Amino acid sequence: MPATVILGAQWGDEGKGKLVDRLAEQATWVARFQGGNNAGHTVVLGDQVLKFHLLPSGITRKECHLVLGDGMVIDPWVLDKELSDWKESTGEDPRGDRLYVSERAHIILPYHRYMDGLDTKIGTTGRGIGPTYADKVNRVGLRFGDVAEVLGDEAWTKASVDRMNASLEAAGSSERVSTDGLASDIAWIHENYAMCIGNTGLMLDNALKLGEHVILEGAQGTLLDIDQGTFPFVTSSITSRGNATHGAGIHPGHVQDVIGITKAYITRVGHGAMPTEVEDEAGVHMGTVGKEFGTTTGRKRRCGWFDAVVMRQAQRINGFTGLALTKLDVLGGLEELKICVAYELDGKEITELPSTASALARCKPVYISMPGFPELPLSEWLAMAVHANESGKGISVLPAAAQQYVAKLEALVGVPCTSIGVGPDRDATIDCV
């Protein structure tokens, strides 16, 4: 069975966790392939709300193997906290049993968090992600597979501390790293993760050869891609399809389906232009009804109308085979729905995303309008989704105006919707195919 890639199609926070959780029921493996604990996935199981930053969303499926892949940067202390919380909740410690950490994944150390804390321009999460990727590119980073090699190596420890402290001083930080502290950290990482560090790319390749289903789970969103996103207000990794297999350690021929996740509107956290951002009554409605606060940082998300220009960029880069539309229910109660179909830039209409941040900041949205649909309680949306799936009626159960809205989005992006989310619950999703 081929692999399925799940990607964010906007600026992140689209609802990847919920979709992966649903699809993991039919999967044997779920693998993260990039990013770190700057990501946040929320899965709602009835009254239980589970929030993950590193653990793949498939952890809720006990038969599912989990991989933190080659392309990730991992804070071992954050991961330990998530694992402790999971064990307290379920009694399970999956390390070495069904959770595996790539020997090629890079480690976020306290030094990286110190460096990241100095950012005042990009609006990062301050979790050490960018500095860890910088060390990776500079070929001085520490990988999980290297831990056993440098354990007790005083020369390596001293050289690393000298380099880190010189960088901290040059950057204007008052923080410093000690040799005893770094040596202790390395020993702790070895003690806590030696049992689950391995060649995860080989594991995934073997699983696929045996016909098992693998989900490759992305973090952040396409518009935060370091190469293809709204640079410099982006993350420090490649978030798009091209890195899904590379960051997992397998070849791209394994992939058949690429699902792009998009909200029925759009949100963004952090700095950078967002042409369709609105702070009027509609924007307040989206933020309030959609509970738009970041899973990782708790920061309020900026809300705006659906942006087809952004989605065309995401589709060109990723080649989605289907769209998973989320939070359609949030738009219920708005009399008029707007969709951005182009931008006006310096007096000219453009239909593709400009490459510079300054040009994007000057873009004004060109909208079309559609009629809204009624606001419904979450229990009614959930019942509607359950009925749609049990009866096979799919999208036809939605209010007529909601059906028209979905059809317009599909036409503008050129990709069919495979599912439509109408609430936070795992079962509040309408399957369209």
- Residue recorded with tokens 């919707």: 417
Burial of 233 (0-12, 13-18, 19+ CB in 10 A): buried
Q: Helix H segments across 211-307?
A: 241-246, 281-289
Using an 8 Å Cβ cutoff, are 128 and 107 in contact?
A: no
Q: Maximum distance among all alpha carbons in the chain?
A: 69
Other Cβ atoms less than 10 A from the Cβ of 105: the count is 24
pLDDT of residue 123: 67
Q: How far is CA 88 from CA 85, 93, 98, 365, in A?
A: 5, 9, 17, 48
pLDDT given at position 16? 82
pLDDT at 119: 75
Per-residue model confidence (pLDDT) at position 429: 94
> What residue segments make up the domains of the chain, in order of their start?
3-255, 262-431
For residue 369, the model assigns a pLDDT of 98
CA 420, 422, 428, 430 torsion-angle sign: negative
Q: What pLDDT is stored for residue 17 in this prediction?
A: 78
Cβ atoms of 11 and 299 closer than 8 Å: no
Our answer to whether residue 13 is catalytic in this structure is yes
Helices (H), 107-197: 110-116, 129-137, 147-150, 154-171, 179-193
112 is a catalytic site residue: no
Supply the pLDDT for residue 15: 84
Q: Tell me the CATH class for 262-431.
A: alpha beta
Burial of residue 130 (CB within 10 Å: 0-12, 13-18, 19+) is: buried
**Which among 21, 41, 70, 116 is annotated as catalytic?**
41
pLDDT at 26: 86
Residue 299 φ/ψ, nearest 5 degrees: -70, 145
State both tokens at 355: 């490459």
The answer to whether residues 304 and 265 touch, using CB atoms and an 8 Å cutoff, is: yes
Q: What pLDDT is stored for residue 343 in this prediction?
A: 98
Q: Which pLDDT score, from 0 to 100, does residue 1 have?
A: 72
pTM recorded for the entire structure: 0.92
Question: Which helix (H) or strand (E) segment is 256 a member of?
Answer: strand 255-263
Within the chain, which residues score under 50 in pLDDT? none
Q: What is the pLDDT of residue 404?
A: 98
CATH architecture, range 3-255: 3-Layer(aba) Sandwich (3.40)
